[in-house]
Amino acid sequence: MSKKPLTSKTLAGSTTAKSATRPAVAHTPVVKSSATAKPPKPSVSAKLIDAAALEDIAVGGAILGTGGGGDPYIGKLMAQQAIRRHGPVRMIDVSELKDDDLVVPCAMMGAPTVMVEKIPQGDEILVAFRKLEKFLGRKINAILCAEAGGLNSTIPFVIGAMTGIPVVDADGMGRAYPEIQMVTWTMHGVSATPMVIVDDKGNNILLECIDNRWTERLARAATIEMGGSVLITLFPMSGKIARDASISGTLTLARRLGEILRESRAAHSDAVKAIQSKLGAATIFTGRVTDIDRRTVTGFARGEAKFAGVDEFRGHSYRIAFQNEFLIAEQDGTPIVTTPDLITLLDVDTGVPITTETLRFGLRVVAIE
Amino acid sequence: MIRIGIDVGGTNTDAVVMEGERVLASYKASTSADVTSGVSEALAGALKQSGVPANLIDVVALGTTHFTNAVVQRRDLIPTAAVRLGLPATQALPPMVDWSPDLRDAIGGHFYFAHGGHEFDGRPITPLDPDELRKIARDITKKKIRTVAVSSVFSPVNSEVERKAGEVLAAALPGVHITLSSDIGRIGLLERENAAIMNACLMDLSRGVIEAFRNSLEKNGITGRFFLTQNDGTLMDAALAERFPVLTFASGPTNSMRGATFLSGVKDGIVIDIGGTTTDVGSLKSGFPREASVAVEIGGVRTNFRMPDVFSIGLGGGSLVVDGDDGVTVGPRSVGYRLTKDAHIFGGKTLTTSDIIVAAGRADFGDRSKVKHLPPALITKTRARIMEMVANAVERTRLSPDPLPVIAVGGGSVLVDTKIGNLDVIKPKHFSCANAVGAAIAQISGEVDRVYRLSNSSREEAVADARERATQAAIAAGARADSVTIVDIEDVPIAYIPGNATRVRVKAVGELAL
């Protein structure tokens, strides 16, 4: 399943990096921009992503996030802050990648229930980037989005703004999934490692694993120990592989979904319908939340939500089980929708996506697939 | 039971006296700059009209937009220090990062990061450092800041660090007010912290205003229980409201919507509450205000309170009318409580929407002869503009194509016609005092907040037990048993207590037994 990593350099059995030298109270995030990195040549199709565009990407990301991937609000604020400080981020198409470009996905990993409460220190993602560059012995040319759903739809723009490196309009799943190996890159034999994991306290880990399941297992264990929410860089790959093995256009899709929601609200039209028509999504049910059992276990927000059907679904009960993302929907005890179909909950009136950690008693939602 | 409902808005102060479901009397006074005299006048007026002696009043329920308006208008806010415990985590987004800059500036934008906070599983992120807090306290003293908001990572799961930090700061800062975020909000650091900071910056105002309310009651010889209505339309003790003014933020719209459904008997519709300065538009579903699904912004600040989804525009009976080169503009500026001095119909020199509506013959108050000179074209244009503003707000709030009725309440509802677009407008009896009626019929709540060990019982049993206890608490507080419903259940697993413990919070509400 796993192929040799892109790099020839190997660090036998390395799991820990030594340098945790950042002082605990470093107030100002590192803002050095990589003047030495050679950015790919500007292209006519490059889009500039500014702070306003992040609003739409974050909303669309929450729709594609199928309840998980974390509420993009925190990531949006981080990206907007970075963009205000360093300027807008260039977003490029996969076709603009050169075969030998070094392309690296980045993400936040952990439980969404932790992310809304424990905000990052701020330098983690930059440290994860620089550590991986150092280990691979070369500069990163483009940033990939690991998952276009949830919080991780916004994280590439944080590091994009900080470094001036372009973000590729693509991701590895076209949605959000709970685990590292669940990406198209795994299916194409790309190794998730070398991977760098950085926490808010200044700890960091360099992982090399025999396959991507092991990466998930070890990285998850480390994430829990590090406090349930970390920043990561992983799946370093060539421009050619990124082009062949990524799902193209997903960040633009997220942005478009955000725009649709914003525009339909402004036009007082049915936002839920507009989103459904863009995604070709059917209605699973409309219901009211009657119970949420949500806990942070084994590094995930796990649990289930129960709903009483309303309108034409009255008389039925529904249950959605989640592990970060909504994974199975049941009607009266029988599974009716499961992943890989996207199961997304939207506020019944406004179309605003509802994430697992913001679900609460009494909310009226429409579940779409 | 005889109850008084009072609504203190930016322009008017209304009082109603109710016995059971009957409105015995209603009285409208102008809100005074000192708050007290307006409340006293409304109280005295309503009592006199009802003929009920003051000592027979059992309950006074007061709703006010005073605190919300203070934040929205950035006035009467005091410089506040935000202290966040969680270093080295959380520095990526400092306190007030998502505030609009003018509000941040209005309270000084002071914040401090300190060590402390918890991980999700109960481990400390870093130990609390009392010396560090004392150093922060010295800086707070130097800056002459008198109110502090403390937030700690995961404090809704474990508030120990937040309390300890509060104690250290209180000892180092005698006389300084301290708001702890875990007393106000739920999981979601930024939203909870925002609420705590807003609460802290309202402290001076809160003390003054609640004291003024108390004085007014006393002056009128009222000895009944005194409540304020809070965001979700339930009553809270005045002493608690004084410490947590932020919990009253949405009480105005909640009261007007509940008052509107009570007075009109309409369960599904759109409510427009036109006051002196603003118009709030919200929708009713089965007799309850439709709740906002996600974060609600107040004065541009994100919070995670449960509150109705209300859309506000700057249109009211006191809104300024300006006939400019680009046509007529109405609002958002308003003469507010100076309406009875500044408007033309009251002998003033400022042209307001009230002048226009009286000149048009649609209402009769003030001195109509003072607006005879207004050109008919201006009147027509202004009224068209007003209807356009209202129709837009209704359209924005209207979430279904069904022709739902619009219930118009509030003193300024004389501004609107009998139709808005294709929707019928209902103006129920006592419409101008719907807010005060909403306050008078505010619901009673019962809450439980208990830790259950799931090694002894299943989660279902724990939640069922908490529901039953909350229901009983609501009934004990005066709710009618058959009206009690559960409005909120939150269960937060507590990892730091062995035995799979979970903290269950349940809120039950019911109608006052009348």
Domains and CATH numbers, chain A: 47-252 (3.40.1610.10), 270-368 (no CATH)
Measure Cα distances from B482 to A156, A336, A338, B454, B512 in Å: 53, 36, 40, 30, 11
Q: Which of B91, B463, B491 sits opposite A121 (nearest CB)?
A: B91
Among A residues 304-343, those touching chain B with beta carbons less than 8 Å apart: none
With an 8 Å Cβ cutoff, are B89 and A121 in contact?
A: yes
**Backbone φ/ψ region at A130: left (φ over 0), alpha (ψ -120 to 50), beta:** alpha
In this predicted structure, the answer to whether residue A41 has a pLDDT above a threshold of 50 is: no
Residues whose CB is less than 8 angstroms from the CB of residue B138 and which lie 6 or more positions away in sequence, other chains included: B172
Measure Cα distances from A55 to A128, A138, A361, B246 in Å: 25, 33, 27, 27
Residue-range domain boundaries for chain B = 80-201, 313-433, 444-510
With an 8 Å Cβ cutoff, are B293 and A347 in contact?
A: yes
Q: Hey, is the C-beta of A358 within 8 angstroms of any chain B C-beta? A: yes
Among A residues 18-37, those touching chain B with beta carbons less than 8 Å apart: 22, 24-27, 29
The 8-class DSSP code of residue A150 comes to G
Alpha carbon distance B358, B356 (integer Å): 6
Sequence letter at residue B95:
P
Q: Find the Cα–Cα–Cα–Cα dihedral B91, B94, B97, B98, rounded to 10°.
A: 70
Residues facing B423 on adjacent strands: B420
Residue A197 pLDDT level (bands cut at 50, 70, 90)? very high
**What number is the average pLDDT over the span A45-72?**
87
The 3-state secondary structure of B491-503, one letter per residue: EEEECCCCCCEEE
CA distance B317 to chain A (A): 27
- How confident is the model at residue B290, as a pLDDT? 82
Residues whose CB is less than 8 angstroms from the CB of residue B261 and which lie 6 or more positions away in sequence, other chains included: B267, B269, B271, B284, B287, B288, B407
Alpha carbon distance A320, B45 (integer Å): 56
Chain B environment of A24 (Cβ under 8 Å): 87-88, 115, 126
Residue A91 pLDDT level (bands cut at 50, 70, 90)? very high
Low pLDDT (below 70) residues in chain B: 293-294, 399-401, 494-499, 514
- How confident is the model at residue B32, as a pLDDT? 83
With b for 16 or more beta-carbon neighbours within 10 A and e for fewer, the A71-92 pattern comes to: bbbbbbbbbbbbbeeeebbbbb
Chain Cα centroid distance, residue A258:
16
- How confident is the model at residue B344, as a pLDDT? 94
CA geometry: angle B434, B439, B444, nearest 5 deg: 140
Chain B environment of A111 (Cβ under 8 Å): 120
Tokens of B253: 């719209």
CA geometry: angle B400, B405, B411, nearest 5 deg: 125
Topology, domain B80-201: Rossmann fold (3.40.50)
CA geometry: angle B334, B337, B342, nearest 5 deg: 70
The answer to whether B268 and B284 are in contact (CB under 8 A) is: yes
With an 8 Å Cβ cutoff, are B125 and A73 in contact?
A: no
In this predicted structure, the answer to whether residue A7 has a pLDDT above a threshold of 60 is: no
The 8-class DSSP code of residue B291 comes to B
- How confident is the model at residue B417, as a pLDDT? 83
The 3-state secondary structure of B421-434, one letter per residue: CCEEEECCCCHHHH
Residue A28 pLDDT level (bands cut at 50, 70, 90)? very low
CA distance A84 to chain B (A): 13
CA atoms within 13 A on the CB side of B49: 17
CA distance B463 to chain A (A): 9
Helix (H) or strand (E) holding B236: strand B235-237
CA atoms within 13 A on the CB side of B211: 7
Residue A201 pLDDT level (bands cut at 50, 70, 90)? very high
A–B: how many Cβ contacts below 8 A?
134
Q: Which of A119, A349, A362 sits opposite B399 (nearest CB)?
A: A349
Tokens of B318: 């006191």
CA distance B188 to chain A (A): 5
**What number is the average pLDDT over the span A118-142?**
96
- How confident is the model at residue B514, as a pLDDT? 63
Chain Cα centroid distance, residue B382:
30
Pairing between β-strand B319-324 and β-strand B327-334 as defined by DSSP bridges: antiparallel
The 3-state secondary structure of B144-163, one letter per residue: CCCEEEEEECCCCCCCHHHH
Residues whose CB is less than 8 angstroms from the CB of residue A224 and which lie 6 or more positions away in sequence, other chains included: A298, A299, B121
Q: Which of A24, A26, A78 sits opposite B126 (nearest CB)?
A: A24
Pairing between β-strand B12-19 and β-strand B301-303 as defined by DSSP bridges: unpaired
- How confident is the model at residue B496, as a pLDDT? 59
Sequence letter at residue A161:
A
Higher pLDDT among residues A241 and B447, named by residue:
A241
